[in-house]
Amino acid sequence: MAATAGLRAVIAGCLEAIVHQGASLDRELEAARLRVAVVRDQGFLQECVYGTLRFVFGLRFQLQTLLGRPLRKRDAVLECLLLSGLYQLRHMSVPPHAVVDQSVAACKELDRAWATGLVNGVLRNAERQAPALGAIPATLLEASWNHPLWFIERLRAAWPADWAAVLAAGNAHPPLALRVNLMRGSAADYAARLQALGITAQPVAAAPACLVLEKPVRVAELPDFDAGAVSVQDAAAQLAAPLLDVQPGARVLDACAAPGGKSMHLLELLAGNCDLQALDISAERLKAVAASGQRLGLACRITPGDAAEPASWWDGVPFERILLDAPCSGSGVIRRHPDIKIHRQTADLTQLQSTQHKLLERLWPTLQPGGKLLYVTCSVLPSENDDILLAFHAGREDCRVLPLAVTWGRATGYGRQILSGENDMDGFYFGLLQKRPDV
């Protein structure tokens, strides 16, 4: 069954909320899914919404060329209908006549019956002028790279040899990566179970518990997912827990724990033998930590609280290890969250930097002398990574930066960076600090 006008109206509404009202992709898509009964249509919805956001700058350029003058603000939903129509024409194997006819019909569903001629004309012209329209001048950086200008400029400055590869990774489909629960069996055994079902998975040298699927599948298709055999987690995110070097029984704080991927990995590595406090400012997001703990049969102390205000949640007994997976721009995970391209502004970075610095400052007193703090972000911007550790470390005699004895990624002054797309991983940064016992 072809995707209908109703479905295209749902897609346009979903995109309008994300692009024009600042709604989050995850939440909006979840709500939209509830309005779409057929599983196959849900797949179309997801592909269309993710894809339109992924290529939004280039599609907007093409739409502007076709329209001549912009649509009125109150017709933003029409702009989204057209953008998703262009996405279907350019990037999906939907017959062009279906894209045009159903988008035209969607105007009525969106109470914009007056716009049927406009939508028909724009999409037909888009099809006719396809090769010329798709040739975006290289000088139009946003449209040709499909990322915001501020990010392209920062990336070029930070990674002169790699910026283009990072942007290309930001436009790519991310793989589905799994973390095998090694308490239940080896990654090789789980790969064999997948293979028996016709699902091919590859191991990742840097992350022994990781399997990357050749083609993504629904979680429900993964053997024993509900029984805790595996979790979904990118390979780069799986590098954090081992770096903490936690001994059995240790007292550990995961300061920004939700939704709990790294907490659960840590507990798996220690077969649950660790006194882990999983803190997060969002009580809502902590529900996911509790749910994962239940599914995996692992326990930790789940605490809602602001990591920058230890007085409100800390019992005064120092931690031997702290994981600070700090709130950041998410610039390393754009391929998984393409709404970052439109939601994140350059001004946010200043705010994020001050939060990152404050979190380090406030958590440091809770770390035991000799203890280690691992600073992690899913960002590829030095301003959130090395710059933060440099500023924190400067003049602080009780802090030393520990080298990371690993071969993956690249050494930066203070830590280690994986750029998005490197070995098909998300972009992540890791820096390990130790509180000197002698100061």
Ligand X SMILES: C[S@@+](CC[C@H](N)C(=O)[O-])C[C@H]1O[C@@H](n2cnc3c(N)ncnc32)[C@H](O)[C@@H]1O
Between 362 and 396, whose beta carbon lies closer to ligand X? 362
Nearest residue (CB) to ligand X, 119 versus 389: 389
Report the residue number whose CB is nearest to ligand X. Answer: 256
Active site residue 378: yes
Structure token pair of residue 386 = 């090395």
- Which residues are paired to 141 by β-bridges? none
Work out how close the CB of 340 gets to ligand X at its nearest, in angstroms, rounded to a whole number: 12
Q: Mapping DSSP to helix (H, G, I), strand (E, B) and coil, where does residue 111 land?
A: coil
CB-side neighbour CA atoms (13 Å) of 68: 4
Using the minimum distance from each CB to ligand X, give the nearer residue, 283 or 406. Answer: 283
Of 146 and 277, CB closest to ligand X = 277
**Min separation Cβ 335 and ligand X, Å:** 16
Query: Per-residue DSSP letters for 244-291?
Result: T-PPTT-EEEETT-TT-HHHHHHHHHTTT-SEEEEEES-HHHHHHHHH
Q: Which of 48, 274, 378, 399 is catalytic?
A: 378
Where along the sequence are the contacts to ligand X (CB under 6 A)? 237, 256-262, 279-282, 285, 306-308, 325, 327
Q: What CA–CA distance (Å, rounded) separates 97 from 60? A: 21
Query: Minimal distance in Å, beta carbon 409 to ligand X?
Result: 18
Q: How far apart are CA 31 and CA 36, in angstroms?
A: 9
Least gap, CB of 293 to ligand X (angstroms): 12
Shortest spacing between CB 325 and ligand X, in angstroms:
4
The C-alpha angle 74, 79, 80, rounded to 5 degrees, equals 110
Looking at the Cβ atoms of 168 and 281, the one nearer to ligand X is 281
Write the DSSP string, 384-433.
GTHHHHHHHHTT-TTEEEEP----SSEE-SSSEEE-TTGGGPPPEEEEEE
Residues that are catalytic: 378
